[in-house]
Amino acid sequence: MRIGKAISASEIAEYKDLKSLGSYLKARSYALEANIATTKKIENRTLTPIALPNNRRNLQREINALPQSCYLFTTGNYVCYLAEHRSIPLMMHELGRRREEAFRAVGEGTGRPLDLDEYDEYYKHLILWDKQKQRLVGAYRLGFGKDIIEKRGIKGLYSNTLFGYEKPFHDILKQSIELGRSFVVLDYQKEALPLILLIKGLFYSVLNDPGVRYLMGPVSISSWYPKFYRSIMIYYLQRKHSIKSMEENIIPRNPFFPDYLRVNIDDLMGNKMESIEQFDRFMMRLSNNEYRLPTLVKKYLKINSKIIKFNVDPDFNYCVDGLVLLDLTQISKQEIMNLSKDEPNKERVYKRFGIEVN
């Protein structure tokens, strides 16, 4: 009989005394309770059929009609655009159905035929398009904070439905682009490149807007994760990837309350948080290779994003949204060089992000 994944000799050797080792082994034993199978992964709710697609050729014609100012870059068969809602009515339908499809696959989604709302009408849309297959690959929704706040106030930001913002944080919001509704179409999720290119698209979206210093917005942790695993992820993120000085200025509308079962969380997590990779591997061992950090969360952390507060969103099957904040002045030189390696005019990218190259 085997219960849980064996603890390796090298892991045991990390503990310098029997007392701390004993406390860790006790915590690991109690953590096994989290791996008891649950009867359902999704809340009881009605899911209506996802809307039917438009003709691909019509989508391609709409893409071809976009002005040059919407074009960001091309990598192989992938082309990236930033467009307004009114310019892409057919693509908005495709975005709505593909969003819903992608989010349902991880236990989220609206349950409606299309995931579209009133914010889509005045936010911009970052589109990654496969020109060879004439297919949508992935997308982001981008809200330019200064413009939105001037016209609609703080309430014009989608993230304000999840978090309240105190006045000291308003200046940051005015210098931000709010990110949201990010997804990669299911057929493309086995490839690493689409997500990399969407992140590249975020950086290219600010090339001609020097007033933008921050990227911010919600990133989700699905309710498909048992609450214990959501709890230890948030424990890790709050201690290693938050900004303590900002926490008091962001108030979750529906706060997440952790549940560590009978586990002493400090004994369990004590030396398991030295790096993103270490924590990710530890969570996999703890869950018998069932759970790890969400891919987008890891990607944000690796480009030096912070995740400040957490909110439970009942409109998306009770996923937990972490509020991400990335200071564009804190991105590494290597990251910018990697993202712009195919760029014919690298100097404009380096200049925008303050990169000096000899």
pLDDT digits (tens, 9 = 90+) for 46-78: 889 999 999 999 999 999 999 999 999 999 999
pTM value is 0.92
The second-level CATH assignment, the architecture, of 49-343 is: 3-Layer(aba) Sandwich (3.40)
d(CA 154, CA 174): 9
| In the predicted structure, residue 2 carries a pLDDT above the cut 60 | no
What integer is the mean pLDDT of 229-250? 96
What integer is the mean pLDDT of 15-31? 84
Q: How many CA atoms lie within 13 A of 90 on its CB side?
A: 16
Considering only residues 195 and 317, tell me which one the structure prediction assigns the higher pLDDT: 195
Considering only residues 2 and 337, tell me which one the structure prediction assigns the higher pLDDT: 337
User: In degrees to the nearest 10, what's the CA dihedral of 151, 177, 216, 130?
Assistant: 130
Contact residues for 124 (Cβ-Cβ < 8 A; gap 6+): 82, 83, 84, 85, 141, 142, 143, 144, 205
What integer is the mean pLDDT of 135-156? 98
Domain locations along the chain = 49-343
pLDDT grade for 1, boundaries at 50, 70 and 90: very low
What is the amino acid identity at position 84? E
What integer is the mean pLDDT of 350-355? 90
What integer is the mean pLDDT of 136-153? 98
Percent of the chain clearing pLDDT 70 (strictly above): 96
What integer is the mean pLDDT of 203-222? 96
Q: How far is CA 204 from CA 142, 199, 208, 348, in A?
A: 12, 9, 8, 10
Report the Cα 162 to chain-centroid distance in Å: 15
Q: How many CA atoms lie within 13 A of 54 on its CB side?
A: 22
Predicted confidence at residue 358, as pLDDT, reads 66
Tens digits of residue pLDDT in 247-298 = 999 999 999 999 999 999 999 998 888 999 999 999 999 999 999 999 999 9
Predicted confidence at residue 41, as pLDDT, reads 52
| In the predicted structure, residue 39 carries a pLDDT above the cut 50 | no
Predicted confidence at residue 43, as pLDDT, reads 55
